[in-house]
Structure 1
Amino acid sequence: MSNQQTEPDVNARLREFVDAIKTSDQYETYVDARERLDDDQEAQQLLQRYQQKQARLQRGGFDQDTMAELRELKERMDDDETISAYMQAEAALIDLLERTNDVISDRIGEEFARSMGGCC
C-alpha cells in the first residue's frame, strides 16, 4: 500500500488542521483581543501616533526628541490594558504557530515555513 495521499485527502486534513488552530484557546483569545483593540479608539490613536513617530524616525534618522516621544508612547502602550492584552494574545498565537511549524519540520525533515517561503 502506498503512503501517498490524494489531493482531496490532503485538503481534508488541512481543513482539520485549520479548524484545530481556529478552535485553540490561543486563536480565540487573539480574535477577542483583536476585536477589543479594533473597538478601542483611544488605543488605536495611541498605536497610530507610535507608528507615525517610528516612521518619522526612520525617514529622518536619529532624533533625540523623537526617540524620547517614542519611549513615552511605548510606556503608555505598555500600560494600556487593551494593547497589552492584544500583544500577549498575539505572542501566544505566534508561539503556537511556531511550535506547529516545528512539528511539521520534524516530520518532513527540513525547516517547513522557511523552505516554503513562509514567515515563521
Structure 2
Amino acid sequence: MDTTPPTRSPCPPGACDCGRETLQDLRILLLTRLEEKRLLERLENLQSLADLEHMQRKLYENLGIRLRISPSFNEVRTMRGFTIQIDDLPGLCRKTRQSIPAAIRRALERQPEIAYRLLDAHDLLRDA
C-alpha cells in the first residue's frame, strides 16, 4: 500500500506567485492549509526565545523555510521595529509569506520578554 502525505492544493491561476511549477524541493508542499493554521497558531503562542529559535530550526528542517528575525537599523519602539524576513522559496504561497511574520509579531506583543531577549542577542548596547 503506497501512502503519500497530503500536499497543498494549488492556488487559483493568477492569484499567487509561488512558482509551484518550478519546484525542486517538494517539502514545502507538505504545508497544507490545515498544517499552515497549526503552524501559525504555534508561532502565535511562543513562550521564549529558545522556543522561537526551535521553530526557526524546525521550519528549515521540515519545510526548507529560512526565517530571520533581527532588530531594524533604526530604533525598535514597537514590535514593528523587528525585521522578519523569509527567504524566497518557490512553492511558498504569498499569503503564507505574509502570515508567518504577522504571527510572530503577535507573539512578540503577547510575550515582550522574547523581544527583549532578541534585542539582547543582537547586542542592544552596541553603540553605547
The structure that has the greater radius of gyration is: 1
TM-score when normalising by structure 2: 0.26
- Larger helix share, 1 or 2: 1
TM-score when normalising by structure 1: 0.27
- Larger strand share, 1 or 2: 2
